[in-house]
Amino acid sequence: MRIITFLIFALVGPTVGASSVTSEAPVALIFDSATPLPGEVATALHQEVESIFRETGYSFHWVNRSEMKAGDSFPDLIVIRIKSTCGEIDVRPPAVSKRHAALAWAHVSEGDMLPFIEIDCARLGRMLRAAGFGDSALSQRQVMGKALGRVLAHELYHVLTGNTQHAHSGVAQPALSPAHLTTSTLTFTARELSLLTRRSYAARQTQQSAPTLSEEPVFESGR
């Protein structure tokens, strides 16, 4: 917990005030990955997330943590840790997992959603084999980027709304199958879209205080 909250606190910065937030202020998505996303994956990811959130009032600023400079700070951010390499097919069979091989998860502490998401690209790649990547490396990476965008959008929904509940269909449903991740379009239902829009408006009016350090353990939501 100390590492996570320290990273978030450092990025937000202690001097950021409500006056720095405008109605157009984007949410900074800080990508923390040992290996940078391939260009085709990153492009497809950005396009998919922007498309899914187009009607919510949210906009995003895409940041690679490795490219950040000293003194960078953001009034509203979410840290996204990418586990394993994205973009290549993993032909190994999925490993048995007590979390039923969750593709991604947001963190919660004492019932509150934290602005911290983890995504396992190796699991996502193995899952997508069932749907087929296409023959070329470019096609594979584009499919990976789109699927990655939908997985991220699902977790962003939980973090941005603070809601751990799921929808009956669409991006916020409990589980996304290979078909859901590769179909031409996948969107929020009207209920989830309405909730996101309301929370987006509220977030633009009142700046949330920066997270503080805590020794409380972090639990994975498994969503």
User: pLDDT digit string (tens) for 14-37?
Assistant: 333 332 333 357 999 999 998 889
Q: What is the pLDDT of residue 133?
A: 61
User: pLDDT digit string (tens) for 105-136?
Assistant: 999 888 888 999 999 998 898 888 766 665 66
Q: What is the pLDDT of residue 212?
A: 40
- List the domain range (segments joined by +) for residue 186: 2-220
The number of domains in the chain is: 1
Q: What is the pLDDT of residue 55?
A: 92
Q: What is the pLDDT of residue 85?
A: 82
- What is the CATH number for 187? 3.40.390
Confidence of residue 221 (pLDDT cuts 50, 70, 90): very low
Q: What is the pLDDT of residue 4?
A: 47
Please give the mean pLDDT across all residues of the chain: 78
Rg (CA), the chain: 17
Q: What is the pLDDT of residue 93?
A: 55
Tell me the HSE value of 127 on the side-chain side, using a 13 A CA sphere: 24
Is residue 40 helix, strand or coil? Answer: helix
The per-residue DSSP string of 47-105 comes to HHHHHHTTTTT--EEEEEGGG--TT---SSEEEEEEES-SSS---SPPPP-TT---SEE
Structure tokens at 23: 């109605």
- Asked if residue 116 lies in contact with residue 185, where contact means CB atoms within 8 angstroms, the answer is no
Q: Sheet containing 27-33: give its strands across.
A: 60-64, 27-33, 77-83, 112-120, 104-109, 219-220
User: pLDDT digit string (tens) for 160-196?
Assistant: 999 889 999 999 999 999 889 988 999 999 999 999 9
* Predicted confidence (pLDDT) at residue 90 exceeds the cutoff of 80: no
What predicted TM-score, i.e. pTM, was given to this entire model? 0.79
